[in-house]
């Protein structure tokens, strides 16, 4: 595999970075996200989650179907602060 | 051929049958304590983390490091913590993206100003160079501020922000290299006292130790409850968000004292910030740990941010998340041995500010456990102060 194969384009995380994270002991997608920063840019994992999961599986030997995706974060796509500022103040719900 | 990589994550195997010290909780407090013990020669230190490293508040906070506190204890501790953080990258061999851009607190009312003036006098006596400044001066530091709504600001150029995650890898890796063993996905399901030792049950087997430290953060009341010990701290959700990365423009962490709004620009360029959101009163101390995100938070945060810096309206929010504060009634932590439970130590109740406190608290905690030196914090922040009514309130709890 080429050394500079970029899996997360927002944060420039390469296949080598993912393999290094697994070698440092990070086995789950949540941990690899935190160690490499993958999935924390504008796409929030929509482009990179599957390729990274495959790379984690390849590096760790785990079956890819046993890996759980990281918690999806709102908003669904990057949204301007002024849109949220225009929301009515509403009573907080639990 | 490359050298074998440094292990930074937790272990997954079966537990050893015994340890000298078991630390429950693999957040910044537990990991920093494990490191500080192991590096001073303490053998057989074991950390038990219920989930993965950075899964709790240590992986969810805003990474602020400030010395602008209202009690001398906290001011002096944070001065030393900041020194440790400044040397962390060199000492631990990991980049923590520290940026010493200062903290700028904005205030709206004369009442707040009077309190802040008292705090600044105390901070100055401790050699923290905080100044009360005019709104014009605040605008020279951050030209994007709309300051006509504010009365004044307090500014300390030596406060800082860091990226929290690598702190955990740094402490975990260094603790492991010095012999501590850190187990992840290892929730403790029972704790019993047996002939002067504590027996902790986990899915990876049982472990016995004469000393246990509860560094469970917002989960600490649940850990203590396994032993039948009721702790007075309680969890509270705190929400936070991050924007798309921007060119560096914001020097200090900016915070509004009356609303609890805070925002800083990380070295990755993102704006990271939160604001105080109150749970409904009847639900406030339910003990539930909620980490769900609410649209109402983004509304409050966006309104607060656009009011302080109107030109940010076009900036896009990329994600929001939440983490638990670990609150106490006087705004101060709970540390030291629990009376009636010899060998059971507490290191919790850090009020959402444990991340910045951990480097220094863990150092003094290790010295305390090793019997080498004790620090006044072990008297001031003892559990029994609540029952005795001997509390000293900390006023600078933000968020």
Q: For residues B189 and B224, what is the distance between their CA atoms, to the nearest angstrom?
A: 11
Using an 8 Å CB-CB cutoff, list chain A residues near B321.
71, 73
Candidate from B55, B280, B317 with C-beta closest to A81:
B317
Residue of B nearest to A25 (CA): B9
3-state secondary structure of B394: coil
What does the pLDDT look like over B147-204, one tens digit per residue? 999 999 999 999 999 999 999 999 999 999 999 999 999 999 999 999 999 999 999 9
Contact assessment for residue B295 and residue B358, using Cβ atoms and an 8 Å cutoff: no
Confidence of residue B3 (pLDDT cuts 50, 70, 90): very low
Report the predicted TM-score, pTM, of the whole model to 2 decimal places. Answer: 0.95
Range(s) of chain B covered by CATH 3.50.50.60:
21-59+165-233+330-388
Q: How far is the alpha carbon of A63 from chain B, nearest alpha carbon, in Å? A: 17
What does the pLDDT look like over B113-157, one tens digit per residue? 999 999 999 999 999 999 999 999 999 999 999 999 999 999 999
Percentage of chain B lying above the pLDDT 90 cut: 90
Q: Using the beta-carbon criterion (under 8 Å), do A78 and B244 form an inter-chain contact? A: yes
Other CB atoms within 10 Å distance of the CB of residue B27: 29
Residue B66 sits at φ, ψ, to 5 deg, of: -130, 155
What does the pLDDT look like over B13-43, one tens digit per residue? 999 999 999 999 999 999 999 999 999 999 9
Q: For residues B109 and B151, what is the distance between their CA atoms, to the nearest angstrom?
A: 7
Q: How far is the alpha carbon of B354 from chain A, nearest alpha carbon, in Å? A: 19
Residue of B nearest to A82 (CA): B313
Q: Please give the pLDDT value at position B360.
A: 98
When the pLDDT of each residue in chain B is averaged and rounded to a whole number, the result is: 95
Q: Please give the pLDDT value at position B15.
A: 97
With a threshold of 0.90, tell me whether the complex ipTM lies above it.
yes
Residue of A nearest to B283 (CA): A94
What does the pLDDT look like over B268-322, one tens digit per residue? 899 999 999 977 776 778 889 999 999 999 999 999 999 999 999 999 999 999 9
Contact assessment for residue B377 and residue B77, using Cβ atoms and an 8 Å cutoff: yes
In 3D space, the residue among B343, B42, B16, B60 whose CA is nearest the CA of residue B182 turns out to be B16
Q: Please, which residues bridge with residue B188 across strands? A: B202
Calculate the alpha carbon distances from B166 to A31, B127, B245, B364 in Å.
12, 29, 19, 22
Q: For residues A3 and A59, what is the distance between their CA atoms, to the nearest angstrom?
A: 14
- Does residue A3 surpass a pLDDT of 70? no
Q: Using the beta-carbon criterion (under 8 Å), do A78 and B53 form an inter-chain contact? A: no
Q: For residues B110 and B114, what is the distance between their CA atoms, to the nearest angstrom?
A: 6
The CATH architecture one would assign to domain B21-59+165-233+330-388 is 3-Layer(bba) Sandwich (3.50)
- What angle in degrees, to the nearest 10, is found between the helix axes of B354-369 and B72-92? 90
- What angle in degrees, to the nearest 10, is found between the helix axes of A29-36 and B164-177? 100
Calculate the alpha carbon distances from B187 to B47, B63, B207, B223, B313 in Å.
11, 26, 12, 10, 43
Residue of B nearest to A42 (CA): B318
Top pLDDT among B9 and B52 is at B52
Q: Please give the pLDDT value at position B381.
A: 95
Q: Please give the pLDDT value at position A91.
A: 55
Q: Using the beta-carbon criterion (under 8 Å), do A74 and B295 form an inter-chain contact? A: yes
3-state secondary structure of A31: helix
Contact assessment for residue A59 and residue B290, using Cβ atoms and an 8 Å cutoff: no
Can you tell me the mean pLDDT for A42-55? 95
- Does residue B326 surpass a pLDDT of 80? yes
Q: Using the beta-carbon criterion (under 8 Å), do A25 and B7 form an inter-chain contact? A: yes
Q: Strand locations in B70-165, DSSP E? A: 103-107, 131-133, 152-156, 160-161
Topology classification of domain B100-159+235-326: D-Amino Acid Oxidase; Chain A, domain 2 (3.30.9)
Contact assessment for residue B75 and residue B343, using Cβ atoms and an 8 Å cutoff: no
Q: Using the beta-carbon criterion (under 8 Å), do B318 and A41 form an inter-chain contact? A: yes
Q: Is A35 on the interface with B (CB under 8 A)?
A: yes
- Does residue A92 surpass a pLDDT of 70? no
Q: Please give the pLDDT value at position B2.
A: 38
3-state secondary structure of B209: strand
Q: How far is the alpha carbon of B93 from chain A, nearest alpha carbon, in Å? A: 14
Using an 8 Å CB-CB cutoff, list chain B residues near A78.
244, 316-318
- Does residue B4 surpass a pLDDT of 50? no
Range(s) of chain B covered by CATH 3.30.9.10:
100-159+235-326
Q: Please give the pLDDT value at position B5.
A: 54
Q: Please give the pLDDT value at position B392.
A: 76
Q: Please give the pLDDT value at position B397.
A: 76
Confidence of residue A2 (pLDDT cuts 50, 70, 90): low
- CA B144 to centroid of chain Cα atoms: 29
Domains of chain A are 6-85 (1.10.10.1100)
Q: For residues B306 and B259, what is the distance between their CA atoms, to the nearest angstrom?
A: 13
Residue of A nearest to B244 (CA): A42
- CA B200 to centroid of chain Cα atoms: 26
> Containing H/E element for B348?
strand B344-348
Q: Using the beta-carbon criterion (under 8 Å), do B290 and A20 form an inter-chain contact? A: no
């Amino acid at each position: 595999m080429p050394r500079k194969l970029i899996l997360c384009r927002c944060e420039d995380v390469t296949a080598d970075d993912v393999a290094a994270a697994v070698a440092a002991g990070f086995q789950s997608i949540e941990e690899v996200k935190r160690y490499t920063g993958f999935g924390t840019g504008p796409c929030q994992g929509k482009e990179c989650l599957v390729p990274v999961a495959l790379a984690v599986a390849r590096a760790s030997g785990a079956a890819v179907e046993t890996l759980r995706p990281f918690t999806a974060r709102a908003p669904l796509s990057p949204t301007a602060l002024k849109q949220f500022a225009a929301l009515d103040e509403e009573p907080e719900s639990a | 051929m490359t050298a074998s990589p440094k292990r930074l994550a937790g272990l997954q195997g079966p537990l050893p049958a015994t340890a000298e010290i078991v630390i429950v909780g693999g957040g910044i407090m537990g990991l920093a304590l494990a490191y500080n013990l192991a590096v001073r020669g303490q053998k057989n230190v074991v950390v038990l983390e219920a989930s993965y490293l950075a899964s709790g508040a240590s992986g969810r906070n805003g990474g602020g490091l400030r010395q602008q506190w209202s009690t001398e204890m906290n001011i002096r501790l944070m001065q030393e913590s900041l020194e440790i953080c400044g040397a962390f990258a060199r000492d631990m061999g990991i980049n923590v993206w520290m940026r010493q851009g200062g903290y700028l607190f904005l205030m709206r009312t004369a009442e707040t100003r009077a309190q802040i003036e008292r705090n600044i006098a105390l901070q100055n006596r401790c050699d923290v160079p905080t100044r009360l400044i005019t709104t014009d001066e605040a605008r020279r530091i951050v030209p994007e501020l709309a300051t006509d709504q504010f009365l004044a600001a307090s500014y300390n150029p030596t406060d800082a922000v860091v990226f929290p995650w690598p702190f955990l890898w740094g402490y975990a890796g260094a603790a492991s290299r010095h012999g501590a063993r850190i187990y992840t996905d290892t929730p403790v399901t029972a704790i019993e006292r047996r002939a002067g030792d504590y027996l902790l049950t986990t899915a990876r087997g049982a472990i016995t130790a004469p000393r246990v430290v509860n560094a469970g953060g917002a989960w600490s009341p649940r850990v203590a409850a396994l032993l039948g010990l009721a702790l007075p701290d309680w969890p509270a959700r705190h929400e936070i968000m991050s924007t798309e990365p921007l060119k560096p423009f914001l020097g200090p962490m900016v915070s509004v004292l009356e609303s609890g709004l805070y925002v800083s620009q990380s070295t990755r360029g993102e704006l990271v910030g939160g604001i105080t959101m109150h749970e409904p009163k009847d639900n406030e101390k339910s003990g539930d740990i909620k980490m769900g995100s609410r649209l109402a938070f983004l509304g409050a945060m966006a309104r607060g941010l656009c009011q302080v810096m109107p030109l940010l309206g076009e900036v896009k929010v990329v994600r929001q998340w939440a983490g638990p504060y670990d609150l106490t009634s006087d705004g101060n932590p709970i540390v030291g041995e629990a009376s009636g439970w010899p060998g059971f130590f507490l290191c919790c109740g850090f009020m959402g500010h444990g991340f910045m406190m951990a480097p220094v608290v863990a150092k003094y905690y290790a010295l305390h456990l090793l019997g080498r030196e004790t620090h006044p914090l072990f008297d001031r922040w003892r559990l029994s102060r609540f029952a005795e009514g001997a509390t000293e309130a900390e006023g600078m709890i933000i968020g």
